[in-house]
Chains A and B, each alone.
Chain A
Amino acid sequence: MHELSVAIRIVEIAEEELERHGGKRVVTTYLKVGPMSGVSKDALHFSYPVACEGTKLEGSLLSITEAAEGNELEVVALEMEWSME
């Protein structure tokens, strides 16, 4: 079960991107998972909220698309909340 370390890495990537875009917080993380990535979708759903705790991703949703082939595990996009001020 290395999904927690994977989830922590996803949160790191998301926080870097959030800062780069000047967003306030992440609402949804869109992930693409290949069947040979060695990562279980269920275990990732379980670990994700734990990794998000106390970060700007806390309370966000994780949306996983399963790729038909390949070993990729990619953060495809992030839905971010922006302040309009």
Chain B
Amino acid sequence: MVDGMIDALHAVRTTTRIAEVRQSVFKQNDLLARELRQQFLEAGVFVVGIVSSPGSGKTALLEKTLASMMSHCRVAALVGDLATENDAARLMSTGARVQQITTGTICHLDASMVTRALQDWDLRQVDILFIENVGNLVCPSSYDLGESLRAVALSVTEGEDKPLKYPTIFNTADIAVITKIDLAEAVGFDRDAVVRNIESVRPGMRIFDVSARTGAGMSQWIEYLRKASKS
């Protein structure tokens, strides 16, 4: 009885109203990404984001890329993973400055993680900074990291319809890199189908074919990066 009265009183004393908010959920990240982009611009560093599914060969590609660019420009990398410093250790053997970002349970990098990772860096000492995202074709698409260029890597072993299955990530990327091209024949890779699929979700996207293992196509990719970083 008393409870009922308290409930009734409570009902009288509260009211609901709808308040307009109109706020983007990614706004905070977008603002931080904009600040990063400005910092990169002022420091004159060209930033290349690399996204792909796990195991597509991002780290191998980066290892070879860092090693071949080391002699003529100052390259560095941030690498994102849920756990372990394995990738950073592997990339450090190239001699480049490398920092691991471990995200814990988070499936993507966001602008605040990049900001924190770079807080002790003097970006003026870097010409090209690579940011290897967590292996994931879904989540990184929602988070701008302030990159100058975003590359999506896709290995020949993954299936030609990946661009159709994950159109969002292909849409946020500027260029596509087909990796492990040395295995193309062994796995019956249909390059025309991939090109067609990429074309249908991101018309006009520039595509590179590379093999980090044999070095095939690496010079075109590196030449492209070198030119893009100077423009």
Which residues in A have some Cβ–Cβ distance to B below 8 Å?
1-2, 5-6, 9-10, 13-14, 17, 21, 23-24, 27-28, 30, 36-39, 71-85
Contacts and interface: CB of A to CB of B under 8 A. Distances in A.
Contact of A84 (B13, B106, B110): B13
A73 B21 CA distance: 12
B19 A2 contact: no
Given A2-B108, A2-B138, A2-B139, A77 B14 contact: no
Given A2-B108, A6-B25, A78 B18 contact: yes
Interface residues of B, number: 28
A38 B141 contact: yes
A82 B21 CA distance: 16
Contacts of A9: 25-26, 28
Nearest to B25: A73
29 contacts: A1-B107, A1-B138, A2-B138, A2-B139, A5-B106, A6-B25, A9-B26, A9-B28, A13-B23, A14-B21, A17-B23, A21-B19, A23-B17, A23-B19, A24-B14, A36-B168, A38-B168, A73-B26, A75-B24, A75-B25, A76-B21, A77-B19, A77-B22, A80-B17, A81-B16, A82-B14, A82-B16, A84-B12, A85-B13
Contact of B22 (A23, A36, A76, A82): A76
A79 B21 CA distance: 10
B214 interface: no
A85 B10 CA distance: 10
Nearest to A84: B13
Nearest to A9: B25
